[in-house]
Structure 1
Amino acid sequence: MKAFCFDVFGTVVDWRTGIARAAEGFFSRHGLGQYDPQGFADAWRQLYQPAMQACRSGKRPYTRLDVLHRENLEATLAGYGIDIGALQPGELEALNSAWHWLDPWPDVVSGLARLKRQYIIAPASNGNIALMVDMAKRAQLPWDAILGAEVTQAYKPSPQAYTRMADILAVAPAEICMVAAHNNDLSAARQCGLSTAFVARPTEHGPGQATDLEPSEDWDIVARDFNDLADQAGC
């Protein structure tokens, strides 16, 4: 093993809490206290995969995630009956930028620091480069490189999203361990020859989460958290 590459939204950072926090502030400023911030975060996130699928299927060219998030935000606000035209200039961009400022799970920074001593560590995220850099600066994520969709020009689980990382790092696919809290991400990575590590995040989708609570396959590593992952990697 030479590198560990990480899914980010849900695996490295707690997107739901961060987006709900930003939504709560937005609702408060606009006297929209009747809306549930967590529900809004979920509704916004539900448009994530369909938006990327349009790029994966060739219906539109690769489009960076910041743009897709902004389009999805406008659609979500419209679905809530909020008049986008009545907002002050910059408000939508400020709310959209909440994806740049998410908090890591408590074990992440220490676990990544340990892994970095022996291995290349990098995000393998659908997030674009500017988003990943901002997030890393705020959350103190010690990446060696920024990989992911904007670098590979492909959204996971497209094969190119995984195989191009190996090309870029000049290693064999099996020398990269894909780390994710999502079994489907790991399944796609395994099909491309990558090694795999599952780290459950049982509250990613809130207290009622019913998916990805357990590994669905015999992944190469199953870890409790990033520090356990570092233990199993010999760091």
Structure 2
Amino acid sequence: MFEQVKALVFDVFGTVVDWREGVAREAGPFLARIGRNDIDAHGFADAWRARYQPAMEEIRSGRRGFTRLDLLHRENLEQVLRAHDIDPAGVGEAALDELNRAWHRLDPWPEAVAGLTRLKRRFIIAPLSNGNIALMTNMAKRAGIPWDAILGAEVAQAYKPDPQAYLRTAEVLGIRPAELCLVAAHNGDLKAARAAGLATAFVPRRTEHGPGQSSDLEPSEAWDVVARDFQDLAHRLGV
């Protein structure tokens, strides 16, 4: 299968970077500054992330035109604040914008950059993320993520798992879907990619949702490759 694969594209939030710890790291001081030490920073991160899929579903369903993730994150942040009886207007635009950019400053999993650097020797590597271009670029610059290109929802004008998110990415790269492989820690993402004709690689991130995570601990199907992490993936792909 992998003899024809020319490019690897990666889910980012959860697969390449640890969104929960990164958001909680910045939410904690923010909550302290506004006098809400009673709110758990990790719980706040979880609540913010819980609004991610519903916001994108408004776009996938056609009820809303394509809207970049930075704006969706900002709208979701204001909703989470209101759910905690915090008036966003009282926080201030600058503080809200700064916290919203926490998603631009997420840290990679420990082996991710080294593994991606190895994989880059043989394959084109790029994000296939629901994150927008500015978010992905800022994240990569800060963390040293060695992408060959920044691809994803804003380029495809479609949010995963819409088939167009996968198919337009292959089209942009000038390759057939079968020559493109999605690497992800989420079985649902891989299922949609396989249905669109892509190759698939599963790399579990068993603490993405914290120590009590119960989903995506193991592969749910016989994906083309299953690896422990990105270094193991590089080894399995002969890089």
Cα distance in 2 for partners of 1:124, 1:219 equals 18
1:28 shift after superposition: 1.4
Cα distance in 1 for partners of 2:166, 2:87 equals 40
Match of 1:31 in 2: 35
Runs of 4+ displaced beyond 2 Å: none
TM-score with structure 1 setting the length: 0.99
1:89 shift after superposition: 3.5
1:85 shift after superposition: 1.7
Aligned equivalent of 2:186, options 182, 189, 204:
182
1:229 shift after superposition: 0.5
Letter in 2 for 1:87: V
1:54 shift after superposition: 0.2
Cα distance in 2 for partners of 1:196, 1:44 equals 28
Cα distance in 1 for partners of 2:50, 2:209 equals 11
Cα distance in 1 for partners of 2:13, 2:22 equals 11
Is it true that 1:94 corresponds to 2:98 in the alignment?
A: yes
TM-score with structure 2 setting the length: 0.97
Once the two structures are superposed, residues 6-28 of structure 1 have per-residue CA deviations (whole angstroms, 9 ceiling, x without a partner) of 00000000000011111101011
1:88 shift after superposition: 3.0
**Structure 1, unaligned stretches of length 5 or more?**
none
Cα distance in 1 for partners of 2:181, 2:156 equals 17
Aligned equivalent of 1:214, options 198, 202, 218:
218
Match of 1:124 in 2: 128
Q: CA RMSD in A?
A: 0.6
**Structure 2, unaligned stretches of length 5 or more?**
none
Once the two structures are superposed, residues 166-185 of structure 1 have per-residue CA deviations (whole angstroms, 9 ceiling, x without a partner) of 11111111111100000000
SS of residue matched to 1:90: helix
Is it true that 1:76 corresponds to 2:88 in the alignment?
A: no
1:52 shift after superposition: 0.1
